[in-house]
Amino acid sequence: MRQLAVTTIGLIICVLVVVATIAADTYISTASIFELGVSARTIGLGGAFIGVADDEAAIFYNPAGLPSLSETKISSLYTRPFGAYSYGAVGVSEHGWGGYLLVLDSDTLEERDLYGNVTGSFRYTSSGLLFGFGKRIDTNLSCGLQIKGYRLFSPTNASGLSASPSILYRQGAYTTGIIWRNALSMGIYYADGHTEPWIRDIAVGLSYQHEDITYCIDFTENLITRGEIACVRMGCEYTGLSPFVFRVGTNRDWSSLGFSFHGENLQLDFAYLLHYALADSYIISLSYQATGLLATELSKVGQWLGSIVRQAS
């Protein structure tokens, strides 16, 4: 069974890389809100989390990790980089499923003509809905599906829907994750009739855990934020000083330092970003482990959603 799982993963990687090479796009997608992250922990790791996927952020990075969750969690993130826009995320996760609401809103921006004269003003406001579902295939292998819903409210209206399948394979201290982002999509439709396709890309993540240290690295084919064909994200996390956890990360746009504090039911995550071309910024996120009545009710919702998925399949 183990050899079959490894062979299957290898074949999937080969097929997806070939398909991605044929279908790769070279422009920047409007729906780049889905590249901003939902957790200060993952951003503190340089954004490398596809091969880790061991908390609620798996909804965003690799939903195949959701079957490993055993707690009901409510999480939130807010940041205001460079004082120019606000970005927030609120999510809930359970064993095998979870969801996030993302909101991005700019300050009032000046609209200018070709000569630099101010002709008016506008705001940029968009939102995203993320749903993730995961299913364990055997002891080491699990699969997942991520569904994205995008909505642009200003300066025009647009909407879109996509689905991203993923897998996660754990073998001892090593973990491999793969997600084919936006593999299935209905495009992004604008009020003026214009249609824009979602960018498809294959992302592969690897992680290795040695005692209290976890090392992780992600590779992507066509990152939305740049439209380029190469990106590497790397991170390292140390858990040996409980209740504190410390981490560092880096990618082509910034390096990061971060830490977490784990309380009884509350977790605080902080990440400081040292941008290479922009001013430095920081991000704070909170997650709460629900207990009692709330956890019971959320668990019922999760079981209901799970039953619907099983019936559909």
The predicted model scores a pTM of 0.80
Sign of CA dihedral 33, 34, 38, 39: negative
Q: State the first-to-last Cα distance of the chain, in angstroms, to the nearest integer.
A: 23
CA distance 129 to 161: 9
Whether the CB-CB separation of 129 and 25 falls below 8 Å is answered with no
pLDDT tens across 262-274, in order? 988 899 999 999 9
pLDDT grade for 2, boundaries at 50, 70 and 90: very low
The tokens of 160 are what? 């879109």
Residue 136 buriedness (CB in 10 A; 0-12 / 13-18 / 19+): middle
pLDDT grade for 238, boundaries at 50, 70 and 90: very high
**Over 80: is that where the pLDDT of 146 sits?**
yes
Max mean pLDDT range (33-42, 162-171, 226-235):
162-171
CA distance 57 to 73: 11
For residues 198 and 313, the model is more confident at 198
Domain range 2-312, its CATH number among 2.40.160.60, 3.40.50.620, 2.40.50.140, 3.40.50.12780: 2.40.160.60
CA distance 232 to 131: 25
Average pLDDT over all residues of the chain:
83
Residue 120 buriedness (CB in 10 A; 0-12 / 13-18 / 19+): exposed
CA distance 246 to 221: 29
Whether the CB-CB separation of 152 and 175 falls below 8 Å is answered with no
Please give the pLDDT value at position 13. Answer: 37
